[in-house]
Amino acid sequence: YYQELVDWNKRVNLTRITGYEDVQIKHFLDSLTVTLAWQPLPPKADFRLIDVGTGAGIPGIPLKILLPDIRLVLLDSIAKKAAFLHHLKHKLGLDNVEIVVGRAEQIAHQPQYRENFDIVLSRGVAPLATLVELTLPFCLIGGSFIAQKKGAIDREISQAGKAISLSGGRLREVKRVNLEEFTDERQLVIIDKVSPTPELYPRHPGIPSKRPIM
């Protein structure tokens, strides 16, 4: 995975992190910390996971390598990144991995993806209120959205309260990730899906980022 990532990164902008040790810690190990929020582990049969804004396949593909029985969808809006993911899927021999090119605002309204996943993941740097609107519509009732966040996030969580409620979610926990390999503060924001997301959400492309629900 590492070698393919750095080779493709020379012609496709996949990541600014390319050093071997940095990739192991900041991409691969960081991806696997998501399992701290999963119960049970390993997950049930036919467990479905979608990685929204996956980029280079982070965190979805490291999780698929760790837990090969999960059914994984990788969503990204950039076709060149999707081409890398298709290549990587075949190079690594990964089964039950679907790669989707498109905007979350549009894909989340398609019946085969809407409210169809046990876990929805995002490492996005967007505000939590924006991420919630983009991700919770993918999550089935009883499933969860897990956002990987860095630094102080109390204000961000407070501002996302309305978006969480309107999207059918409920904040379960903010789990601190305490590993000596990480020099910065990292958290998993875990939001459970408790009711259907209204058909209005997510709004048209660009609106969730320009005008977050607050």
Does 149 score more than 80 pLDDT? yes
DSSP state of 100: E
Does 41 score more than 90 pLDDT? no
Q: What is the pTM of this model?
A: 0.95
Question: Where are the domains positioned within the chain?
Answer: 24-210
Contact call for residues 74 and 142 (beta carbons, < 8 A) = no
* pLDDT tens digits for range 54-88: 999 999 999 999 999 999 999 999 999 999 999 99
HEC string of 1-30 equals: CHHHHHHHHCCCCCCCCCCHHHHHHHHHHH
Does 151 score more than 90 pLDDT? no
Q: What's the CA gap between 198 and 132, in Å, rounded?
A: 13
Does 134 score more than 90 pLDDT? yes
Task: Supply the pLDDT for residue 16.
Answer: 94
Give the side-chain half-sphere CA count within 13 A for 113: 27
Confidence of residue 38 (pLDDT cuts 50, 70, 90): confident
Task: Supply the pLDDT for residue 179.
Answer: 87
Q: What's the CA gap between 33 and 70, in Å, rounded?
A: 16
Task: Supply the pLDDT for residue 130.
Answer: 98
Q: Residues for the chain: how many in total?
A: 214
* pLDDT tens digits for range 112-133: 999 999 999 999 779 999 999 9
Task: Supply the pLDDT for residue 39.
Answer: 73
Q: What's the CA gap between 188 and 37, in Å, rounded?
A: 7
> How does the average pLDDT of the chain come out, rounded?
95
Q: What's the CA gap between 145 and 81, in Å, rounded?
A: 23
| Residue 85, phi then psi, degrees to nearest 5 | -65, -40
CATH code of the domain made up of 24-210: 3.40.50.150
Does 138 score more than 80 pLDDT? yes
* pLDDT tens digits for range 12-34: 999 999 999 999 999 999 999 99
The two beta strands, 97-101 and 139-150, are: unpaired
- Per-residue burial over 11-29, b if 16 or more Cβ lie within 10 Å, else e, is eeebbeeeeeeebebbbbe
In the three-class reduction of DSSP (H, G, I as helix; E, B as strand; rest coil), residue 204 is classed as: coil
* pLDDT tens digits for range 166-198: 999 999 999 999 888 988 889 999 999 999 999
